Structure 1
Amino acid sequence: MEGMIILIALLVAGTVGYSASKFVAIADPNVAKRLNKIDQPAERREPIEWVSLPLSRLIPGYFKRIEQDLYWAAFTAPSWSDKTPAYIVGRQILMTATLGVLVAWLLGSNLGLWIGGLLGWFLMRSDLTSKASNARKRITQELPEFLQLMAAESASGAGLDAIMSRVSSSEGYLPAWLRRVLSIAHGRSLLISRETGAGILMQEAQLSGHPDLISFAIQMGFARQGTQVRETLTRLATQFSDSYVGQAEIRTERLASLLGVLVALFYFLPFLVVILVVIGVPLIRAFSG
């Protein structure tokens, strides 16, 4: 009961805080005018974000993973571009409290706090995780073929910067990501070098958190310093292709194991229960009678 009271208090506090912030904004029409006069206004946060800000120092790794997921979600759907990790965690907390209280009330047990809370926590992250995961998989799939295309373009003797500019015009997630990187560069160093350090390509790869893109950026820096660019790109394409095939085989093995468990749970066990009820119960009655 105490847990339910705490969750209700958090839910009420969040609702009151949100309503108060909206009321203040409406009651003071001069707020917008004052903000427009400020040359560099402070970052405006949504009320839901303040719910999760204290957790940003307690679980920074979780906020970092959400930031990387938002990078790819915004890459595929612009509607995610204005979202922040604090917003995602804030809505997780509010949904956790709401579903926890609701399920506990429906079941009449404090166990509903855990059931509803866990459901709300994972439900409000699943859409973001799904979009980010799909984008990462597409990048991994396209990388070997993209490197092969770069190797073919290198036959003209052009530099890596020019090669990447040419192949970025093709279709796919990886070319679209590279076009984004090129638009951010604006004449700055694209690849890593001893003089300038990490280039824009490496910086964006690190922001994305994609291990294959980070490896790609590092290898492009090494390839730029070498003379046999085409051979290097062909070798990298083979390496990434072998890595992708190996990961696919591992996922296939895991899927086979998972299917075996699912068959046992949803086919064998119900079948066994039916057999015991149909045959076992009459036998027990016969021997006991």
Structure 2
Amino acid sequence: MTDNQSFQTKSPTLYIVPTPIGNLDDITQRAIQVLAGVDLIAAEDTRHTGKLLSHFQIQTKTFALHDHNEQDKASFLVEKLLSGLSVALVSDAGTPLISDPGYHLVHQCRQAGVKVVPLPGACAVTTALCASGLPSDRFSFEGFLPAKTKARKDKLSDIATDERTCIFYESPHRILDTLDDMLVVLGPDRQVVLARELTKTFETIQSLPLGELVAWVKDDENQRKGEIVLLIHGFRRPKEADFPDDAKRMLTILVSELPLKRAAGVVAEMYALKKNALYKWGLEHLKSADH
């Protein structure tokens, strides 16, 4: 490690330290050095992190910092940092703050003038994306979908016409409900990748049209276990030629009497078209429509 990267710094420093998402060999040498050299490790689950530290024979003291206490405990850690101690922030797996605690601590450190040093390392989002075969030049990470069906469908409707690859985390006990809701909102032809147990023994990365993926997961109980990442192919913008002229004319007529979304649904059903695509076309071409 160079001098400007070393944890042995005279100024108070918070280190953001990624940990393995499965395979322990994925931890970096720099992460091991930092975890062994700081004064305190702020961990999402001290028992879980304790196993990792024990594996690498690291004896640094840990401090619990999780979703339920972070706002209260962040100021305590900032005080420790300002007194001259160095602190490493870790989550249970992967890069802290990515759907994990840490935002409030980092924010308060920034406000207090405490140096924040991020280490690169494991992250399920990028690990899944680079092996998915989906476009990776533009993507959106959305964390976990809502637990309730209506809210989940609303969120999926929001991203239905997003042209970026959309990435979600999902829990095993909700995966079937989520895939069923995706099928309703996005249709059976949307390409979706299920990445499960990344870097672990039973790692699975399956890419299928949504209709086939739902059936595959329902038929194999093993695919409903472990840590899951879902990646949705971005919306493919249809060409105007894809819509019959009669459908365009009908939509133009109906929007004078109906909201655009409802009119698009009626025309889509009449002409066997994608409702969301037709709605998108209406937004762009029927400027005077009441939507």
The answer to whether the superposition gives a TM-score over 0.5 is no
Q: Which structure has the bigger radius of gyration?
A: 1
- Bin for the TM-score computed over the shorter chain: under 0.3
Could you tell me the TM-score, scaled by structure 1's length?
0.24
TM-score, with structure 2 as normaliser: 0.24
Query: Looking at both structures, which has the greater relative contact order when contacts are Cα pairs under 8 Å and sequence separation is at least 6?
Result: 2
Q: Where is the strand percentage greater, Structure 1 or Structure 2? A: 2
